[in-house]
Amino acid sequence: MREAFRDMEAKINNITDPHRTSVDRWKSLKGPEATRESRMEVVAWVAVCLFDCRLEGGFVRDWVVSKDPPQRPNLPPQQWVEFSNGLPVLNRALVPSDLDCHLPPLKKFDVDSFVDVLYGYGISAEVFRQDWRYVLLMDKLYKTGPFTMDLIEPHIALTHDRIDFDVSNLSLEKSYTRDLGMRVDITGGSHPIQLETIVENIRKKQFQVLRPIDGENGPNTAGTVAERIGKMKARGWTQIGEVLDLLPDPPLTYNAILVPYPPSTTLYQNILTAMQKIPGADRISIERIKNPDIESLYENLKRTIAKECPGNDPNERELFHGTHGDAIEGIINKGYDDRYFSPTGAWGML
């Protein structure tokens, strides 16, 4: 397959090869063919190869993998940046927009040293500090135009394990000079998605949603998945496939994790409506159990049953079960055991 992706591999190498020469970097910075994106590549190279960061986000999708040319707003470069709550914000028409990096978890990061290295390459950088990240505004007055960079603290990176779209799940790391990685491994489970599929979708400007669409009762609500879908479509992307609820596996030290379900989703509202019909029931929270071992057993059994059913339809149904105390922990960690089912329970049997 690599013959079809030489352009992509060249960009991966520009960011991840620690042996990239100074002459080559100079061409990207100030050579006759230097662009905003080639200068962004050098900044990414510094972060990845000299400071052991991991590059993620839209730059990997919109520049490294995509074959589309960059997009610019119909404004002078000096007007591409505005400020909101004291932080620089780029014009939305810029594609690729910015750089997103996760700081290394096992190495101390010195933002002053990082800025000093950039200064040595002739790249200006203003630093804005938040509790969980650094935001850098670069090339503010340079002729090719400004861009920003987010440097995200490693303890925050651990919580960024939900992926909105398949095409936003790519990353680059030092010394992997021909290879893309995944932010979160989504190659397993009941709906596996492979790297080749993600690359193909980016090249075709199509994407699949991997989490429930919140904001369904108000699609213009800021920060919702629905809003981000709207932004992608406004840029000419096409949504494909069914909306998945893909949760990453829990850490190796845990059997399972509980993930709150977005209240604005259709499933949440359906569950709430059904529970309101149960006398005396009161909703405290609605959470999804993510237990990969139990899920694997369930999916395998469902496939076995489907083979014995007309049309390979296992006739799957969603039902309620009421319990309390230690039984809750047992279901979370070991799954539902129908040997403990009681037909004389509070809600009888179905």
Q: Residues 8-22: what's their mean pLDDT?
A: 95
Specify whether 103 is located in the same domain as 8.
yes
Inside any domain, residue 136: yes
Domain assignment present for residue 336? The answer is yes
Between β-strands 238-239 and 206-207, what pairing exists: parallel, antiparallel or unpaired?
Answer: parallel
The string of DSSP codes covering 161-193 is ---SBGGG-EEE-TT-TT--EESS--SSSSS--
Q: In the predicted model, what is the mean pLDDT of residues 133-161?
A: 86
Is the pLDDT at 157 greater than 60? The verdict is no
Instruction: Report which DSSP code applies to 315.
Output: -
Identify which has the larger pLDDT, 256 or 136.
Answer: 136
The structural domain count of the chain equals 2
**Which of the listed residues 119, 148, 178 is the one where a domain comes to its end?**
178
Please state the rounded mean pLDDT for residues 322-331.
Answer: 82
Residue 134 sits in the same domain as residue 274: no
* Same domain for 263 and 145: no
Question: DSSP labels for 243-307?
Answer: PP---PPPPTT-S-EEEEPPTTSHHHHHHHHHHTTSTT------EEEE-HHHHHHHHHHHHHHHH
Tell me the mean pLDDT in the region 64-69.
94
Question: Please, what is the average pLDDT of the chain?
Answer: 87
Share of the chain above pLDDT 70, in %: 92
pLDDT confidence of 218, banded at 50, 70, 90? very low
Determine the average pLDDT of the residues in 327-345: 78
Whether 174 and 278 share a structural domain: no
DSSP state of 242: P
One domain for residues 7 and 150: yes
What per-residue confidence (pLDDT) applies to 38?
A: 97
Choosing from 131, 146, 178, the residue where a domain stops is: 178
Q: Tell me which residue of 57, 58, 56, 30 sits closest to 42, measured CA to CA.
A: 30
Q: Which of 72-76, 143-147, 176-180, 315-319 has the lowest mean pLDDT?
A: 315-319
In a domain, 240, yes or no: no
Q: Compute the average pLDDT of residues 80-103.
A: 94
Q: Are residues 173 and 270 in the same domain?
A: no
Instruction: Give the pLDDT confidence of 269-320 residue by residue, as tens digits.
Output: 888 888 888 888 888 888 888 887 888 788 888 889 999 999 989 988 877 7
Write the single-letter amino acid at 297: L
In a domain, 317, yes or no: yes
Residue 206 forms part of a structural domain: no
Provide the residue range defining the domain that includes 264: 257-340
pLDDT value at residue 160: 57
Q: How many CA atoms lie within 13 A of 154 on its CB side?
A: 10
Whether pLDDT at 219 is above 70: no
Q: What is the pTM of this model?
A: 0.76
- Per DSSP, the residues of 65-104 read I--SPPB--SS-GGGSEEEETTEEEE-TT-BS--EEEEPP
Answer whether residue 220 is part of any domain.
no
Give the pLDDT confidence of 171-209 residue by residue, as tens digits.
Answer: 999 999 999 999 888 887 777 899 999 999 999 999 999
Query: For the residues 128-147, what does the mean pLDDT come to?
Result: 94
Q: What is the DSSP letter of 63?
A: I
pLDDT in tens, 103-136: 998 889 999 999 999 999 999 999 999 888 999 9
Confidence of residue 216 (pLDDT cuts 50, 70, 90): very low
Q: Are residues 15 and 153 in the same domain?
A: yes
The CB density around residue 138, as the number of other CB atoms within 10 Å, is 22
Domain finish residue from 152, 178, 204:
178
3-state secondary structure of 128: strand
Task: Tell me, yes or no, whether 7 and 101 share the same domain.
Answer: yes
CATH number of residue 296's parent domain = 3.90.228.10
> Residue 222 — pLDDT band, cuts 50, 70, 90?
very low
- Considering 7-16, 216-225, 240-249, 292-301, the range whose residues carry the highest mean pLDDT is 7-16
Quickly tell me which residue has 């990082």 as its tokens. Answer: 114
In a domain, 249, yes or no: no
- Predicted confidence at residue 163, as pLDDT, reads 83
Residues 37 and 138 in one domain: yes
Residue 73: inside a domain = yes
Residue 7 and residue 139 in one domain: yes
Q: Using CA atoms, how far apart are residues 42 and 71, in angstroms rounded to an integer? A: 20
Do 8 and 156 reside in the same domain of the chain?
yes
